[in-house]
Amino acid sequence: MICLAIFDTSVLLSLFDPGHVHHAKAREATESHTLWHVTPGVLAELTQVVRRHANARGTDGSALSRRLLETLETTTSYRPLAQHDPEFVSRIFQIHAELSYVDAWGIAVALDRVEPLVTFDERQRAVWESLR
């Protein structure tokens, strides 16, 4: 049986960082879903955060973020999602000021596709649960 889910940046960051407090939970979440759907916004946010943190530690953040994307793109479960309803995303974003646009985008896609949203972001999870 195919098990689909929309994955948030928080889960992917935890997955690729073995020292992260949520690493084990991220591995469990990714292993329990056959397909991981990821919005372009999550990819942009993921590479930005990885790059910024690596550069702050004196590591080449650009190279690290490229390697991370290569790893993600070769994962058989990963599927990028480009389609979304920008008006729906904007409505969620406007109503829920606590969310970033990327978080609103993930919620909109999860609701539209009727797939679970996998996130460690409690604000995002609370909004998604209130709307589904």
CATH of the domain at 88: 3.40.50.1010
Query: What's the domain range around 96?
Result: 4-131
Two tokens, residue 112: 């539209």
- Amino acid 81: pLDDT: 86
Mean pLDDT in residue range 2-25: 91
Q: How far is CA 53 from CA 18, 50, 65, 96, 100, in A?
A: 15, 5, 10, 27, 19
Separation between Cα atoms, residue 6 and residue 17, nearest integer Å:
19
Separation between Cα atoms, residue 132 and residue 127, nearest integer Å:
9
Average pLDDT, the chain: 91
* Domain total of the chain: 1
pTM assigned to the model: 0.85
Q: What is the pLDDT of residues 46-66, one digit of tens each?
A: 999 999 999 999 989 899 999
pLDDT band at 2 (very low <50, low <70, confident <90, very high): low
Helices 40-56 and 101-113: crossing angle in degrees, nearest 10, is 140
